[in-house]
Structure 1
């Protein structure tokens, strides 16, 4: 009987404040959608970073006939200079840091470059103008600076490049986008909390006579507060479910159906499994914030 009475009060409050409830639902929906997007973006950054860190190489570019670096004053790297770099990579100092390395000769590099640029460039570029390259995979990619310091400034070596550096601007841009999404989500969540509190106060004011009668017949504060808390939780729950649906739809249509086939250099994307893990987080955030906000608002109003 008490349970039926509580739910009767809940639906009465929702009906009386329908416009405010809809506002709570929409604000909660938008804010939690941003929260879900931020979580998935951070997961995507982590997935991409892990993928590329494992595959990123340190490239040691040997001098060519057209190199202008001071270490290339003698022209193209000699076989002795190439052998010196290889010996250093296989030596006791660097070998423990290296997982594997490959060597690309002038002819191999030239063939790959022409395949990439097209046959029209074959008459413009000659093999001796393309770098011989050692591509090194490290056991720990974080130790790439060791190789950079070991070969930078060495005669016959034009440049040493950590390929992961090319991806850092992308990771940084995605991280900034994540922070922006988190900031917008935080502002929207604050707005949702304030809106829920306002809705509960208005609902309590509209039912002040009923509350007075409940107090006169000895109803406990918890019994009086429960319907108001459930009103806020119910509205926030609907917004959370809508936000979860938006996140799932975004991953399915935005990632799986659109980005996965169009952005070739990214081979690892967040999937529906990741989105499903976000759903309970969004619902929990929505319900807990609504319960806390509504509970605080009605307690303040009852004490007033």
Structure 2
């Protein structure tokens, strides 16, 4: 009997505040989409860092002919200078930092350049003799780049030491800032959702003051009086969470897996499994929104 009464009150409240309920659903949906997008962006950044940082190398470019760098004052790198660098990279001092070392000849550098930039004016004008020999160093920990760079920079025969990771940092910086923007927008929308849910519950409570007064007179508890109003906010918030999860799943399925993953196969993108992983968090956030809004509203408008 009590359950039937609560459900009837819930249905009555939803009918009386259809427009406000729809607004709550939409605002909750948008706010949780931003929250989910921020979470997925952080997961994407983590995937890319784990994948790409393991592949990055330190490139040590040796002196070519006619270089203006002071360490190349004697001209093109000599065999003795190459041997000194090889000995340094194999030394015990750098053993904790250096995982593998690859030596790239002029011919190998020329072949790699032709493969990366085929059918261009540069590939037609360059010859193997114009290329630089170099060492490619795979580090045990990419974060320890500076230790290796300090040992190699300024040595005779070394023109430049390049950390490939530095090329990726601007991309990760952009993604981090996009995440912060999504979080900021999510925060604004969450505040809006709380205010809307609070307003909806207040309107519903005010429109049913007579029923509430009768329930008080017959000795109904606070929980029994407040439960229909709490369920209104919870249902609206959960509907918004369901739409947010569905929207993110569709975006991951068709935009990411169906397009980006096929166009950029060398990137490990987030997928629908990641969306399902964060889905419980979005549902929990929706319940938390409804709970906070209900406590704010009902403590004033339905207390005995």
TM-score, length-scaled by structure 2 = 0.96
1:124-143 alignment runs, 5 A limit: 124-143=125-144
CA distance in 1, matches of 2:206, 2:290: 19
Q: Number of matched residues? A: 303
State the Cα deviation string for residues 196-216 of structure 1 (Å, max 9, x = none): 000000000100111111111
2:80 maps to which residue?
Answer: 80
1:165 maps to which residue?
Answer: 166
> Deviation of residue 303 (structure 1)?
4.3
CA distance in 2, matches of 1:172, 1:47: 15
State the Cα deviation string for residues 34-87 of structure 1 (Å, max 9, x = none): 111110000000110111111111111101114221111122111111111111
Q: Secondary structure in 2 aligned to 1:20?
A: helix
1:144 maps to which residue?
Answer: 145
Structure 2 gap segments, 5+ residues each: none
Q: Contact conserved, 1:225 with 1:299, CA < 8 A, in 2?
A: no
Q: Contact conserved, 2:102 with 2:135, CA < 8 A, in 1?
A: yes
1:251-270 alignment runs, 5 A limit: 251-264=252-265, 266-270=266-270
TM-score, length-scaled by structure 1 = 0.96
> Deviation of residue 249 (structure 1)?
0.6
Q: Secondary structure in 2 aligned to 1:99?
A: strand
CA distance in 2, matches of 1:121, 1:167: 25
Q: Contact conserved, 2:103 with 2:136, CA < 8 A, in 1?
A: yes
1:65-144 alignment runs, 5 A limit: 65-118=65-118, 120-144=121-145
RMSD: 1.4
1:203 maps to which residue?
Answer: 204
Q: Contact conserved, 1:66 with 1:129, CA < 8 A, in 2?
A: no
State the Cα deviation string for residues 226-277 of structure 1 (Å, max 9, x = none): 110000000001000000000101111111011112235x421112211110
> Deviation of residue 8 (structure 1)?
1.0
CA distance in 2, matches of 1:129, 1:74: 17
Q: Contact conserved, 1:28 with 1:189, CA < 8 A, in 2?
A: yes
Q: Secondary structure in 1 aligned to 2:270?
A: coil
Q: Contact conserved, 2:117 with 2:123, CA < 8 A, in 1?
A: no
